[in-house]
Structure 1
Amino acid sequence: MNEHVQAEGTAPLFNPLAPDFIRDPYPHYERLRTADPMHRTQFGAFVASRHAEASLVLRDKRFGKDYVERTVRRYGPKIMEEPIFRAMGHWMLQQDPPDHTRLRGLVVKAFTARRVEDMRPRIQEIVDQTIDAIIDRGHMDLIEDFAFRLPVTIICDMLGIPEEHREVFYKSSRDGGRILDPVPMTKEEIAQANAGHAMAQMYFHQLFELRRRNPGDDLTTQLVQAEENGSKLSNEELTANIILLFGAGHETTVNLIGNGLLALHRNPDQLALLKANPPLITGAIEEFLRYDSSVQLTGRVALEDIDDLGGKQIPKGESVLCLLGSANRDPAVYPDHPDRLDITRPNVKPLSFGGGIHFCLGAQLARIEAEIAISTLLRRLPDLRLDDADNPQWRPTFVLRGLLRLPASW
């Protein structure tokens, strides 16, 4: 440990995989914002915990992804031979222009406001079917039985995954996500990630063949056609980005619905207010995003020496991790009790979807899915209660913040 990370005998300021950090990161963020807002972590990166620096880094052209360089820096020169890291290198999420611009341009049309708005009836239908299936049981796990099915179904619709293939996706384990954490992975974790990636790759290659033979009105067909014309997309890029869209298209929305429902039940006054005034749901979703973001961190790399960022010099090649969950509770932006859930809070502009050229493609889709899911649940199961709102089980990952399960009864 270097001396500016911690004094003798104290815990590191930023230890994101520690159980108490995962359970409730917000007191830790407050300490960071107060004590060392541009903190140099024990694994080398800087963490930006205030809104001002985090939002600047996301939008500033002097920062980029620089994926290969930054990964080699963390793991050594052989790391890009690992299939999972090679695949991630092709994600548009990890690319800089011009590759990023080209890849994003191929999928952006599927996520336009108009397209997404038109999906409302389908989203409503899935939510109602999900509730119909369990309403007589009197209990369920809000994650597996409710929050998970909607976004998985929608992303399967968008990617043209046939109905008869979907059961495996509804049952698939949710132990990914570790790969995104800022703490380096062990050999075992890398091997596990490679195995998961190989399975996904095998499936999507079959899907590509299917869509070459039977084109559909879906994103996979569009991308397969872009790959066939050669200049737009290589096969590796096609595979990596479909896997990215599949993961990003459901993981974070599951967590938004779960974290939002937990927040409401931990704040009965807000739950009562929303039940009494259903139209408040639109603002409530923004507040859920702010209050307990599904994505807690996103990173950039300095593409040149930065003289002064929050009082620190950032040398070229250094990573800056933007703590979105911390920025969302910065009293400089939310002066009125930032740690309180307030579904009527004005001017909520959460950083939860990132910013700049990598701003989340599916932001509007996630909002609408969460809005319909939560409002329909409150309307149809008004007496639903969480079995244990005080000690929920969080997933052991930090960047993707969400619950393992959330049992409820009515």
Structure 2
Amino acid sequence: MTGRPAQASTTRAPRPLPVDRPCPLDPPAELQYLRTELPVAPLAFPDGPPGWLVTRYDDVRTALADPRLSSRRPHLNSHIRASLITPAEMAALRPSDLLTSDPPEHTRLRRLVSGQFTTRRMALLAPRIQDIVDQHLDALAAAPRPVDLMTTVALPVPSLVISELLGVPYTDRDRDRDRDRYQRLTAELLSLDRTREQLLASKAEMKDYLLHLIRTRRAEPADDLLSGLLQAQATDTTLTDDEIAALAQLILIAGHETTANVIGLATLLLLRPPRLWDTVRRRPDLVDGVIEETLRHATVLQFGLLRVAREPLTLAGQPIAAGERVVLHLPAANRDGARFTDPDHFDPHRPDAAKHLSFGHGPHHCIGDQLARTELRTLLTTMLHRFPDLRLATDPDEVATHRHRVVHGPARLPVDFTP
């Protein structure tokens, strides 16, 4: 993308967040103009007063670590759609979690969760990840072609891995019905086109489901994250079942929906012309570069992160008043030419791709980043080996992506191969 898009405006009047993509793998074209000419731009919100949109890498990175910008907010998606749920309803259905809290509450919750993401537990998960990958690639090999990679591999693999980590009972994981239930609920909670009644129903069902799992693990503890949090509850009397359910919901959603879409996007990037699949298959040492570059080039959190100013501050020369909302646009920051050379080019050899902001920065840096990288590395390495002639069964520019969901990625990814 070069030059100023036709739809960009020189006015400083607040404008809605740009969301229309020129192609499935590129962010909205207007973001490039804003990043260059108006890096802290007035932003119109669907409800309430206007705020600000931040698009430069350095500014976004600085803001992510600035304690004056609060993560507390009335609704996760309020810069995309008008809030459908009142703050009181939100508090009743889901208390604060790692995404929506500030210190000292955030510090307490993060310490509890990080204590469960131990090196030992991740090491124990590694062979299970390989087993789950092998099983689903067997299913891919046996499926009628063309086959949708998303439903056959990309979604179920991280779904089962996060079940293993959380401690969803084996009988639940073994039943497609139960797995489909939380995959459905996750998709519903991330969708932006649902009614108030539908959203309330999904939130209530998810909470009931997770509280049921908590009761199960309290009666039958095991070596998993839910059991670990329940053990912590014995010494931290402030930790409630509702808080554990909220943390489990965040881990469940972030742990499988985001990873699933990175799998789909990485595969699409490798299979489209000039077909880097063959290059990486011959050079498996490039897999880590593919992962980091996919996270940078095709950032899955497509609408940015919302913050609220706790006090007046200045960001890139722009005064921001206390109480004003600020959207930190990760896809725009990850395509900033001032930080990444030739940023619109997908390059598995890029030496600094891991400097992307897709896992955040500062106190809210994603706690499961290494688990996600392990899953992605295992799946891509195995798939490259087992399916050397994997190919798209559709035009790459016509791959449908999630336009009305917080997480960006292919809605379907039809692929073919020689058996």
Task: Report if TM-score (shorter chain) is over 0.5.
Answer: yes
Q: Which residue of 1 aligns with 2:281?
A: 275
Q: Which residue of 2 aligns with 1:140?
A: 147
* Alpha-carbon distance in 2 for matches of 1:202, 1:179: 14
Which of 113, 121, 131 in structure 2 is aligned with 1:125? Answer: 131
Which of 150, 153, 178 in structure 1 is aligned with 2:157? Answer: 150
* Alpha-carbon distance in 2 for matches of 1:380, 1:58: 40
Please list every run of 5 or more consecutive structure 2 residues that lacks an aligned counterpart in the other structure: 1-7
Counterpart of 1:81 in structure 2: which amino acid? A
Question: Aligned-pair distance for 1:78?
Answer: 7.8
* Alpha-carbon distance in 2 for matches of 1:142, 1:273: 21
Question: Aligned-pair distance for 1:310?
Answer: 1.9
- Cα distance, 1:70–1:287 mapped onto 2, change above 3 Å: closer
Counterpart of 1:357 in structure 2: which amino acid? P
Contact 1:155 1:246 in 2 (8 A): yes
Residue 354 of structure 1 pairs with residue 363 of structure 2: no
* Alpha-carbon distance in 2 for matches of 1:201, 1:373: 31
Contact 1:152 1:169 in 2 (8 A): no
Query: 1:78-97, aligned counterparts within 5 Å?
Result: 79-83=86-90, 86-97=92-103
* Alpha-carbon distance in 2 for matches of 1:360, 1:329: 20
Residue 325 of structure 1 pairs with residue 331 of structure 2: yes
- Cα distance, 1:180–1:63 mapped onto 2, change above 3 Å: farther
Residue 345 of structure 1 pairs with residue 347 of structure 2: no
Q: Which residue of 2 aligns with 1:33?
A: 35
Question: Aligned-pair distance for 1:113?
Answer: 4.3
* Alpha-carbon distance in 2 for matches of 1:177, 1:56: 31
* Alpha-carbon distance in 2 for matches of 1:92, 1:294: 19
Counterpart of 2:180 in structure 1: which amino acid? K
* Alpha-carbon distance in 2 for matches of 1:377, 1:212: 38
Identity of aligned residues (%): 35
Contact 2:166 2:225 in 1 (8 A): yes
Contact 2:74 2:86 in 1 (8 A): no
Contact 1:70 1:317 in 2 (8 A): no
Question: Aligned-pair distance for 1:268?
Answer: 2.9
Residue 264 of structure 1 pairs with residue 270 of structure 2: yes
Q: Which residue of 1 aligns with 2:5?
A: none
Q: Which residue of 2 aligns with 1:376?
A: 382
* Alpha-carbon distance in 2 for matches of 1:69, 1:384: 41
- Cα distance, 1:355–1:67 mapped onto 2, change above 3 Å: same
Question: Aligned-pair distance for 1:180?
Answer: 6.4
Equivalent pairs counted in the alignment come to: 397
Please list every run of 5 or more consecutive structure 1 residues that lacks an aligned counterpart in the other structure: none
Q: Using structure 1 for the length normalisation, give the TM-score.
A: 0.88
RMSD (CA atoms):
2.9
Question: Aligned-pair distance for 1:373?
Answer: 0.9
- Cα distance, 1:51–1:179 mapped onto 2, change above 3 Å: farther
Query: 1:384-395, aligned counterparts within 5 Å?
Result: 384-388=390-394, 389-395=396-402
Contact 1:33 1:50 in 2 (8 A): yes
Residue 302 of structure 1 pairs with residue 305 of structure 2: no
Q: Which secondary structure does the structure 1 equivalent of 2:61 belong to?
A: helix
Residues 369-397 of structure 1 deviation map (CA, whole Å, 9 limit, x = unaligned): 11111121111011111111221111123
* Alpha-carbon distance in 1 for matches of 2:132, 2:75: 43
* Alpha-carbon distance in 1 for matches of 2:195, 2:22: 22
* Alpha-carbon distance in 2 for matches of 1:109, 1:33: 38
- Cα distance, 1:272–1:115 mapped onto 2, change above 3 Å: same
